[in-house]
Amino acid sequence: MTKSAPPWMDPDLAAYVDNRTTQPDEAQQKLIDRTHAETGGAANMQVSSAQGALLTILTRAAGTKKALEIGTFTGYSSICIARGLADGGSLTCLDVSEEWTAIAREAWAQAGVDDRIELKIAPALETLASLPQDASYDLVFIDADKENYPNYVDAVLPLLRQGGLLLVDNTLWSGDVVRPAEEGSTTAVIQAFNDRLAADERFESYILPISDGMTVAVKR
């Protein structure tokens, strides 16, 4: 099982939290195992099982009918979001990898959520620009190339309904966000993104210290 212990958390306390969080079912565990077996070092791009449980809870609590995911990888987070959708809900996934999302497609079918998910393979900013102007989403989850985080937020802002949830992964970056960073580094990019979103009056936001950090923001 993918563990969620952040580097700043006592390991015993982290294990306590993990053991009292909704656990992956058989389909999810198979995907965790397959991702580690077939994607090598890239497997760390998969959200933790604890984050997955949180995604389902937030999706369900928000009464989400339409959701959008930017960065799908092998499909774990999309399974979790799809399972939290309201009856008749749908999830649109944006990614550029045919190889990794082929694993996702199989996992969605095994998890019984493939009928709720539409996958679009293309650079996300291109896909976002092509969506109908009247498109509206209740929840957006961003977990893709970090350099484009500000661009993704700008692109989805008109598509996210008032009161909708914006979720952004990796916003604590292994705790490096509190340390000096070289200009142009991923750490510096995330630091700037975090500062920008915190100052953005269009959102109310909080960085949850779960796994690698997940920002939860509500559009005003």
pLDDT category at 2 given cuts 50, 70, 90 is very low
One DSSP character per residue, 75-128 reads: SHHHHHHHHHSPTT-EEEEEES-HHHHHHHHHHHHHHT-GGGEEEEES-HHHHH
Question: CB of 214 within 8 A of CB of 208?
Answer: yes
Tokens of 78: 């999309």
Phi-psi region for residue 63, left (φ > 0), alpha (ψ -120 to 50) or beta? left
Within 8 A by CB and 6+ apart from 95, the residues are: 71, 72, 73, 101, 104, 119, 120, 121, 124, 144
* pLDDT at residue 31 in the model: 98
Fold of 11-219: Rossmann fold (3.40.50)
pLDDT category at 7 given cuts 50, 70, 90 is confident
Residue ranges per structural domain of the chain: 11-219
Helix orientation angle between 76-84 and 26-39, rounded to the nearest 10 degrees: 160
The one-letter amino acid code at 147 reads E
Tokens of 160: 């996210």
Count of beta carbons in the 10 Å neighbourhood of residue 4? 22
Give the mean model confidence (pLDDT) for residues 113-141.
97
Which 8-state DSSP code applies to residue 177? G
* pLDDT at residue 9 in the model: 87
Within 8 A by CB and 6+ apart from 164, the residues are: 62, 137, 138, 139, 140, 218, 219
pTM, 2 dp: 0.96
Which tens digits make up the pLDDT trace of 62-85? 999 999 999 999 999 999 999 999
Give the mean model confidence (pLDDT) for residues 196-209.
97
pLDDT category at 1 given cuts 50, 70, 90 is very low
pLDDT category at 19 given cuts 50, 70, 90 is very high
Give the mean model confidence (pLDDT) for residues 18-31.
97
Which tens digits make up the pLDDT trace of 134-171? 999 999 999 999 999 999 999 999 999 999 999 999 99
pLDDT category at 4 given cuts 50, 70, 90 is low
What is the overall mean pLDDT for the chain? 96
